[in-house]
A and B are shown apart, each in its own frame.
Chain A
Amino acid sequence: MTARRIVVVGYGMAGARLAERLRDRDPDGTRVAITVLAGEERPAYNRVLLSAVLAGSMAVDAIRLHDDDWAERHRVDLRPAAVAIDRAARTVALADGSTVDYDVLVLATGARPWLPPVEGLAFDEQGVAAFRTIDDCERIIAAVAPGAPVAVLGGGLLGLEAARGLAGRGCLVTVVHPVGHLMERQLDPAAARVLATVLEAQGIEFRLGAPAARYLPGDGLKLADGSHVPADLVVVSAGVRADTGLAEAAGLAVDRGVLVDDALRTSDPRVHALGDCAHHPGTVSGLVQPAWDQAEVLADLLTGVRPAARYRGSPVVTRLKVRGVDLAALGDALTDVHDPDAEVLCLTDPARGRYAKLVLRADRVTGAILLGAPDAAATITQLYDRGTPAPADRLALLLGRALPGGAAVASSPADLPATATVCRCNSVTKAALVTAWRAGASDVDGLVRATKASTGCGTCRDTVCGIADWLTAAEPN
């Protein structure tokens, strides 16, 4: 059997994950020979953790996906970036002038930051940085200083994570967002308002519903409403666009990204695509989970381990990774509270920075926004992912984990029911202690001798003493 030559264009999170998963399924390289064409100069790294790098809680080296010798150890041929695809000849031309042949080509070219149309704003401009790569991160860190004003253009997930990281570094951060509320793709206005309040308490200012009009180098941003935001640095985090240049040039069908079917095939069945560069119907781009799910499916298909594997979308849960803020948003959370086709619960508690909204349909969780409710987020996310029926007590679900079972704490031994187990280690109920008392046990030691209560783990000693005191008062021997 000759190993099929798989060429992966891109060594970001999707490409690196695919290479790993291919090798998991074919460790000896008998089924597939893997070539990865690395786009960025650096070894693959975990983009999800860039905000941790920006916040200073993680070193650049700590977010690398692979060690230097990873490719060699896993029989992966790492080559320079691709510059052109010749589908007829099944070759890819590389940046160093060489070419590689492929049996299967996989596009994992990712996405590029989108630059909103603001006069004078450009990524190569002094004082302007994107927030997409390690290089961006290092540029930002080098450019800012404690006390310096910084504007973040974009109030989406990444923009807010960047803003929080910069505020943590002592910068005076203003988030400029053209829409009237933050994270409008995931949050309703009420939730976004609570979120803004929470972040304001962390020192971040907001200019909402105010598109930037003009970039003034060294000065800041002029907004459409005529106001001015001072900024030594403008961090642009206004979304991304799939990197489809190679695919378009090669004549592949492209919409918002390279179009793929459930087998992640492009319009050329020998060419696949995954991750941010791909456009799978119904899949939200820009998150890592779909890319990783796609890598599993594609690895199954390309190694022939599971020819029936198909990608049918990923349930999306958005988590804001900001210290001190616990926010999860998922599914059709923007459903109106009075929507007749859904059951919607909503709790707003701005004073404590909490907002919880739950959308259910046919007894299943189909959407939620959970801000400042970490326990509820964990439980509700699992119900959503698994499609299991929601607990009957909706309010308990919305407020967090169901109250623990076990014995209720009685205020006094008199209130304890007779059947309550006092000493679990020796199966001693309150009734057994009372019986022992009436049979002549006249103090704690007597109760212990008669019933063996508290002689195991000893946890119930105080309760036994309390019962002895109560019995002394109520039924003196």
Chain B
Amino acid sequence: MTDTHCPYCALQCGMRLTGTEVAPRGGGLCQKGWTAGRLLTSPRRLSTPLVRVDGELRPADWDTALDTVAARLRDTIAASGPDAVGVFGGGGLTNEKAYLLGKFARVALGTSQVDYNGRFCMSSAAAAANRAFGVDRGLPFPVTDLADADVVLLVGANPAETMPPFLQHLRRATASGGLVVVDPRRTPTAEQAALHLQPAPGTDLALALGILHAVVADGHLRRDYVAARTSGFDAVWRIAAAWWPERVERVTGVAAADQRRAAALLAGARNAYVLTARGTEQHARGSDTAQAWLNLALALGLPGRLGSGWGCLTGQGNGQGGREHGQKADQLPGYRKLTDPAARAHVAGVWGVDPAALPGPGRSAYELLTAADLRALLVFGSNPAVSAPRAGHVVDRLSTLDLLVVADVVLSETAAMADVVFPVTQWAEETGTMTNLEGRVLMREQAVEPPDGVRSDLAVLHGLATRLGQPAARFPVEPSAVFDELRAASKGGIADYYGVTYDRLRSGEALHWPVPSTEHAGTPRLFLDAFGHPDGRARFVPVDHTGPAEPPDADYPLLATTGRVLQHYQSGAQTRRIPELTAAVPDGYVEVHPDTARHAGLADGDLALVESRRGGATVPVRFVPSMRTDTVFLPFHFPGDRRANLITNPALDPVSRMPEFKVCAVRLTAAPS
């Protein structure tokens, strides 16, 4: 019997494993969690390395696979330089793996080209939080604090499907008529809300400005707080002043009266929170959009106040830790900046290398996956063939690489394209730490023995690094040894894990970073006394609405948005292999308002082609009368011609490099038979 955590989302629900039987520990579990044990016994599990020979993936022994990869990496680097090799990580990897992956890229390969799928996840909120607070920790307070809130504004968040047990923390707000949800769709979360604001996709920023305008016009601005704890309000107001609610209504479709109601609800609350998620962040202006909600929270005096605040609902299991320890293109462990000489010197010191030898910042995820001069790519814990925007183009690009290497648990769609596939351990088969949505470091203990032939990602990195001439001790295989190195590397950084030890975690301590010493009790609540900027103030940042990167037009008159369903996780590589989950939701579909479908000559259940300038997804139509008539929705978990990401727009946010997953122009027709 082993206490561990769920392998899926950032809520990281506690669970107890008896063999492969799952039981909750106190909190809740959704169907994904309850069936997670099936991952451990899946007949689709990879248990031997695969190497492509004569166009076909064939079983190989580990030495052959590792030797093959090392040799071809050496050749690529010799011929085209280290930046011709890319590394692509994932937000589901443990802290130890994420850390060692970044180190492997920069030290063993010497490449600057490392990034990860978290770029597609929280990067916009992270950019906004860094600008406003000087620190990015998804929730800068314990998630349990939400239980005392009487009003919660959820923006582009659908936790009823994406992290169901999270709703337990919102019971008070829901029961007291204080749940406000911003979502273009009437999601299961929106159905529970007292007030559902249903803007056109891509207009959230205008909506935030309209609510801010109402806050000021209706006398709700927290002037004392703004004066004492923030800077920059005037410039933000100059913009919001031009967005009176009636003007915002015209852009968003959200009634001016509802904007004022939202403002009044938030302002009248004893305790209130503004929480954002992917719906408002995955835009080519996602950083600015998240910023606009943050500006609203600051005008209401919420952040840094006990019992209130602003936060981002992190998506992937280790979305938080994964963005702190160096698998991100511009970052070193401890949330340090790769361009900061002091940060480089510190980390190079821990790694025993010359700071000058560390590469500079590299490309962001989509730019890396599609870079013309990339010759080889190593993918760990990600399935970009399904999850990347403009997936058809990404697949085309990946298929022209000299070498594609994938480390995964199952033969994902990306792994199926690879030249070499490494079968690696998953959650319950290995020990490691995860950092959940509230910045708390969690111990995930090994509960079962991995299948024969499976090795941990750490062992893969070790095997490759030593073959590339690195000293064996520089790439430890033991998670505890990697974590101790991570502690030292993060010491003194923003995300300081130095005081976190396996022993402390095993003794049950709840440690939220920063934890600067082993005596330090951790920091459950940031900003109560000061924000992270040198002057201790939070910064308002002026942002204005410009609209989607690809507005609808005569050829592509509808807006498509993408998202998740309860039964599946991310690219579905895991969940699509679990019978209970595929029985509940077997395949992709497109949600359409019946009028919109009829205009396209489509009946409920008909096979439709949803087409953008980048490609088309072929999916059955599902009539949903609560849809906006200008919007269609596709879940993105499904492969092949069901792939929602065949249509998505890779227009990137200038700051976060987040692609515009959440809105693009499409047309809807009957699929050719």
Contact = CB atoms under 8 A, between A and B. Distances in A.
Contact of B566 (A328, A424, A459): A424
Interface of B: 24, 28-31, 34, 159-161, 164-168, 171, 186, 188, 191-192, 196, 198, 200, 216-219, 234-235, 237-238, 241-242, 244, 246-247, 249-250, 253-258, 552, 557, 566-567, 580, 584, 593-595, 598-599, 624-626, 629-630
Task: Find the residue from B168, B234, B238, B593 having the highest chain A CB count within 10 A.
Answer: B238
A443 B647 CA distance: 48
Nearest to A315: B250
B249 A381 contact: yes
Given A62-B237, A375-B255, A426-B34, A456 B249 contact: no
Contacts of A386: 552, 630
Nearest to B216: A62
Given A404-B191, A405-B624, A452-B34, A46 B242 contact: yes
A458 interface: yes
Interface in A30-87: 46, 48-49, 52, 57-58, 62-67
B257 A326 contact: yes
Contacts of A402: 625-626
Given A392-B595, A424-B188, A457-B165, A49 B241 contact: yes
Given A374-B257, A406-B186, A424 B160 contact: yes
A458 B244 CA distance: 39
Among A49, A66, A317, A378, chain B packs the most CB atoms within 10 A around the CB of: A378
A375 B247 CA distance: 14
Given A374-B258, A406-B191, A426-B34, A456 B241 contact: no
B244 A48 contact: yes
A391 interface: yes
15 contacts: A58-B216, A62-B237, A67-B234, A326-B255, A377-B255, A378-B249, A378-B254, A378-B258, A389-B629, A391-B593, A402-B626, A405-B625, A405-B626, A457-B28, A459-B192
A404 B626 contact: yes
A428 to B, nearest CB: 9
Which 3 residue pairs are nearest across A and B when measured between Cβ atoms?
A457-B167, A405-B626, A319-B246
Given A374-B257, A392-B595, A455 B626 contact: no
Nearest to A375: B255
Interface of A: 46, 48-49, 52, 57-58, 62-67, 289, 317, 319, 321, 326, 328, 374-375, 377-379, 381-383, 385-386, 388-389, 391-393, 401-406, 424-427, 452, 455-459
B112 to A, nearest CB: 30
A57 B160 contact: no
Given A67-B235, A374-B256, A458 B557 contact: no
B249 A377 contact: yes
Max chain B C-beta neighbours (<10 A), residue from A321, A401, A459: A459
Interface centre among B28, B166, B198, B593 (most CB of A within 10 A): B28
Contact of A58 (B217, B566, B567, B626): B217
A425 B28 contact: yes
Contacts of B256: 319, 326, 374, 378
A455 B34 contact: yes
A321 B246 contact: yes
A426 B31 CA distance: 4
Nearest to A288: B247
Contacts of B171: 458
B295 to A, nearest CB: 16
Contacts of B188: 406, 424
B237 to A, nearest CB: 7
A393 B254 CA distance: 20
Contacts of B159: 457
Contacts of B167: 457-459
B218 A57 contact: yes
Given A425-B30, A459-B167, A381 B238 contact: no
A356 B31 CA distance: 46
Contacts of B255: 326, 374-375, 377-378
B246 A65 contact: no
Contacts of A46: 241-242
A456 B32 CA distance: 10
Given A58-B216, A62-B237, A389 B186 contact: no
Contacts of A403: 625
B250 A456 contact: no
B263 to A, nearest CB: 12
B210 to A, nearest CB: 11
Contact of A456 (B165, B198, B584, B593): B165
A392 B598 CA distance: 10
A258 B200 CA distance: 37
A57 B624 contact: no
Contacts of A401: 198
A51 to B, nearest CB: 10
A147 B191 CA distance: 47
B608 to A, nearest CB: 18
Contacts of B24: 455
Contact of B186 (A52, A64, A405, A457): A405
A430 to B, nearest CB: 15
A455 B28 contact: yes
Contacts of B191: 404, 406
A293 to B, nearest CB: 12
Contacts of B235: 67
B253 A379 contact: yes
A66 B234 CA distance: 10
A46 B217 CA distance: 13
Contact of B557 (A379, A385, A388, A424): A388
A427 B625 CA distance: 22
Contact of B238 (A52, A67, A385): A67
A377 B624 CA distance: 22
Contacts of A64: 238, 241
B214 to A, nearest CB: 10
Nearest to B581: A427
A131 B595 CA distance: 46
Given A328-B246, A404-B186, 20 more contacts: A52-B217, A62-B237, A66-B238, A319-B246, A326-B256, A375-B258, A377-B255, A378-B255, A378-B256, A382-B630, A383-B629, A385-B250, A393-B595, A426-B30, A426-B31, A426-B34, A455-B28, A456-B165, A457-B166, A458-B167
A427 B164 contact: no
A67 B233 CA distance: 12
Contacts of A57: 217-219
Contacts of A381: 249-250, 253
Nearest to A52: B217
Contacts of B161: 424
A321 B186 contact: no
A435 B258 CA distance: 44
B648 to A, nearest CB: 22
Contacts of A66: 238
A49 B237 CA distance: 13
B30 A456 contact: yes
A457 B167 CA distance: 5
Nearest to B596: A389
A386 B159 CA distance: 32
Contact of B200 (A382, A389, A425): A382
A389 B595 contact: yes
A403 B200 CA distance: 18
A382 B31 CA distance: 39
A457 B164 contact: yes
Contact of A457 (B34, B168, B216): B168
B660 to A, nearest CB: 20
B219 A456 contact: no
Contacts of B257: 326, 374
Contacts of B238: 64-67
Contacts of B216: 58, 62
B26 to A, nearest CB: 11
A455 B219 contact: no
A115 B593 CA distance: 51
